[in-house]
Chains A and B, each alone.
Chain A
């Protein structure tokens, strides 16, 4: 396992580091202490453990929207997917996540195949998995009719370690992990990445700015007033 490989690199590891990794992944279903010849060979874990890692992202897939009116613009199918605890720095992964935003799925996978970075493989795998899920579970007709609507990174576990330097000096080593989140939406991708970002900061005309300001002023409310 990934965690076990890291132990060989750590010079000092405490119980605090040991316990959550062992407990979180290897908890027995019946929560029984496994014994061999009378020795406890597994760490006793609690009956219920707080789930680790991001939980809310995949919940977006389960959300049920109300039925749409006939004249309303059709809401495109989407799938939210993620890959957690990638052994890669979130700061470095950010560049890869930014590359892929606003591209069609095919173009994204093609570009990622030629990015010489470790995180690119994880991102590519996530997108391909998401594409498969979209077709199987999220009512997407054509697997190539998808584009990357959202692509971002979150900070994962950081396992601290130590390394030695010359002259009895110690250096800290941080084994950083990250989570990668992606949303694939059905339909045509935006014309360019510039257009993709434009929806966040639209260039309003003078009249639009005025109307917006006026709306905000009128929406002010004194709470608990008559």
Chain B
């Protein structure tokens, strides 16, 4: 490793020497001077009296590689700041995909469900889930589960609920929660009517 470093440094040293000799004519006795930054100090020193090729010294001589070659023009600076209006503007643009929710009146993006309404429904769902978990616990689900709010049970006779596990919610049904989420909109084919007939939905609440 040390040998390799020494060879690399010697290669660099030699390449500097050959390049500088071609640039500075030693006919007039102009010794090639190379400015090398050593620990932040810029010292002009002779290539003839180059630093030793000991590996530790290589890390001490900081030759700045990644340094700007020329000043950034105002055009380039403005491009970085503002972007390009055709390709990719960097300034914030007015968004035209914002819509108003018909139900609640809050704003939302075009292809997104209204977050306000969704949050409301999510909260209600969590309440139902909590009620179900409290009622049924870890027992296996062998019968269909029906979630009823206050006043829903009385609408049907007792035998309507036979064979179903009922979870009662301790609050009245929310106005936006329709009872009629499961009614099929198309009647099945029967002997009387040859084709499917549309069913008018009832009890939409």
Whether a CB of chain B sits under 8 angstroms from the CB of A65 is no
Contact residues on A (Cβ < 8 Å of other chain), bracket = under 10
Set A95, A96, A111, A113: member contacting B94, Cβ < 8 A: A111
On chain A, the residues within 8 Å of B91 by CB distance are 95, 98-99
Q: Are A111 and B95 in contact (CB under 8 A)?
A: yes
Interface membership of B104, Cβ < 8 A: no
In the complex, which range does the number of interface residues on chain B fall in?
Answer: under 10
Residue contact B92 to A114, C-beta cutoff 8 Å:
no
Q: Does A115 lie at the interface of the complex (its beta carbon under 8 Å from any beta carbon of B)?
A: yes
Contacts of A111 in B (CB 8 A): 94-95, 98
Minimum Cβ distance to chain B for residue A187 (Å): 20
A98 touches B98 (CB 8 A): no
Which of A95, A96, A98, A113 lies in contact with B107, CB distance below 8 A?
A: A113
A110 to chain B, nearest CB (A): 6
Q: Which of A98, A99, A114 contacts B109 (CB 8 A)?
A: A114
- Which parts of B168-202 form the interface with A (CB within 8 Å)? none
B94 to chain A, nearest CB (A): 6
Q: Does B90 contact A (CB under 8 A)?
A: yes
Set of chain B residues within 8 Å of A110, measured between Cβ atoms: 98, 107
Closest Cβ neighbor of B106 among chain A residues: A113
Nearest residue in B to A100 (C-beta to C-beta)?
A: B92
Report Cα–Cα, A62/B91, bound state, in Å: 34
Q: Find out whether the CB atom of B92 lies under 8 angstroms from the CB atom of A96.
A: yes
Shortest Cβ distance from A109 into chain B, in angstroms?
9
Q: Tell me whether B94 and A114 are in contact (CB under 8 A).
A: no
B98 touches A99 (CB 8 A): no
Residues of the A chain whose Cβ atoms lie less than 8 Å from the Cβ of B109: 114
17 A-B pairs within 8 Å (CB atoms) are namely A95-B90, A95-B91, A95-B92, A96-B92, A98-B91, A98-B92, A99-B91, A99-B92, A99-B94, A110-B107, A111-B94, A111-B95, A113-B107, A114-B95, A114-B98, A114-B107, A114-B109
The 3 A-B pairs with the shortest beta carbon distances in the complex, nearest first, are A99-B92, A95-B92, A110-B107
